[in-house]
């Protein structure tokens, strides 16, 4: 089902590029500016690359690289838009990334100073593994407990 969705998204992106090109084509004919020619040529090319990249993201692993870029962008935003300790913010982002993208569970974080308690619908074994994994990689925060909560 997701492959069909990705295929539909790819075609929508490519068709949007073609429609944009057709809209800008009369503008190209009315002026003799070389920059407009480049824009008219590059728009379908960029939309085509975006569409193919979208479909390859699900099949070839490009999606992982795109997700990593998104994570790095979120870290950059946190570091530049929010005040506070940057290591603390990066640790929070790593915890949220693991719970939202790797484990894909709803969660709550209880933060008391440097100590964090995670409330998530995980088994005891998965909670211990998550706690050990995160504690090895965190700079400021310490995961003290992973409490189980009922699945919604």
20-64: pLDDT as tens digits: 777 766 766 666 667 767 777 777 777 777 766 666 666 566 666
Q: Is the pTM of this model over 0.95?
A: no
Helix, strand, or coil (residue 148) = strand
Q: How far apart are CA 95 and CA 147, in angstroms?
A: 15
Asked if 58 and 94 sit in the same domain, the reply is no
- pLDDT over 60 at 68, yes or no: yes
- Exposure string of 127-145, with b = 16+ CB inside 10 Å and e = fewer, is beebbeebeeebeebebee
* Last residue within a domain, chosen from 42, 58, 81: 81
Whether residue 38 is found in the same domain as residue 99: no
Q: Does residue 152 carry a pLDDT above 60?
A: no
Say yes or no: 73 and 90 in one domain: no
Q: Is-contact 91 138, C-beta < 8 A?
A: yes
69 and 19 within one domain: yes
22 and 71, same domain (yes or no):
yes
What total number of domains does the chain contain?
2
Structural domain for 47, as ranges: 1-81
Task: Specify whether 41 is located in the same domain as 91.
Answer: no
């Amino acid at each position: 089902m997701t492959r069909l969705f990705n295929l539909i998204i790819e075609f929508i992106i490519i068709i949007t590029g073609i429609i944009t090109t057709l809209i800008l084509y009369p503008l190209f004919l009315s002026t003799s500016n070389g920059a407009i020619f480049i824009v008219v040529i590059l728009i379908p090319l960029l939309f085509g690359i975006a569409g193919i990249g979208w479909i390859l993201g699900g099949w070839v692993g490009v999606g992982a690289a795109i997700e990593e870029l998104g994570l790095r962008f979120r870290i950059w935003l946190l570091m530049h838009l929010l005040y506070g300790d940057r290591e603390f913010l990066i640790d929070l982002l790593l915890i949220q990334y693991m719970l939202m993208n790797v484990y894909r569970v709803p969660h709550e974080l209880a933060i008391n100073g440097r100590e964090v308690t995670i409330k998530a619908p995980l088994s005891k074994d998965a909670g211990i593994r998550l706690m050990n994994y995160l504690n090895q990689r965190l700079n400021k925060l310490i995961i003290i407990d992973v409490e189980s909560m009922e699945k919604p």
